[in-house]
Amino acid sequence: MLARLDARRGDLRGAGRWRSLQDRADQLLDGEAAGDWNQAMMELGATLCTSGSPQCLLCPVRQFCDAHQQGIADQLPEKRRKRAEVAVRLAAAVLVDKSGNSLLLPPPTTSEPRPPDDYVPALVAKLWHFPTAPAHGDGIRALQQLFAEQLNMTRDKAGFEALSTVRHTVTYRRIEVSLFLVRVSKLPPAGGSKAIGLSAVLEQPISNLTRKVARAALAKMAADSSLSGG
């Protein structure tokens, strides 16, 4: 309704527009009767200033409405444009020691103003996660670099056991994760990391993407145990 009142075009959730609408609402609000104002706004939007078919001739505020004056009330608010899908490729490593423990990295404490589509902290919902890196062509190489920078460890290509590809969707992103099992004698020390039994990972605060990775790794471990008779 506020979009029509001021004849605001464009995606209302675009940069700056949502904040501007909130500022406009605060400006119009009667501080001494905030509850009545909110109720009136909801009723007006539900009965007359509806999204699909505004009834301007019956509207008590049409004389103040720029969209009505311009004859564009039925065109506002503009439908949000669907963002084009983006393919994101990641690589994730599930490290497992001889006791069946795995390594989870902590939720990140920093972010970027406009992170790229393959920005891992955003894709794992800033929760506990397996070592994960953007994979531009070579997933193993991306993980080797992550190991060196964050875990202070090295691992040659033979140490990466490829598992099934994990697929996931986050808003407009279509994510494919090349998943690798890395068996180690001892989990590397990493600041803030957590050593936890792989079977207990699903009980931790993790994203749906990390949950899919954990399930794929557990399925592989269970299959290996079955084949070995363990």
Amino acid at 224: D
How do residues 29-75 score in pLDDT, each as one tens digit?
A: 888 888 888 888 889 989 999 988 899 999 999 999 998 999 999 98
Q: What is the DSSP pairing of strand 166-170 with strand 173-183?
A: antiparallel
CB 173 within 8 A of CB 86: yes
For the chain, domain boundaries: 2-75, 86-228
How do residues 175-224 score in pLDDT, each as one tens digit?
A: 999 999 999 999 998 888 999 999 899 999 999 999 999 999 999 988 88
Give first-to-last CA distance, the chain, whole Å.
65
Distance CA 12, CA 4 (A): 11
Fold of domain 86-228 = Nucleoside Triphosphate Pyrophosphohydrolase (3.90.79)
Give the predicted TM-score (pTM) of the model.
0.68
Triad 50, 51, 54: Cα angle to 5°: 50
Percent of the chain with pLDDT over 90: 54
**Which of 87-91, 213-217, 224-228 bottoms out in mean pLDDT, i.e. has the lowest?**
224-228
Q: Write down the CATH number for the domain with range 2-75.
A: 1.10.1670.10
Task: State residue 113's pLDDT score.
Answer: 66
Distance CA 224, CA 230 (A): 8
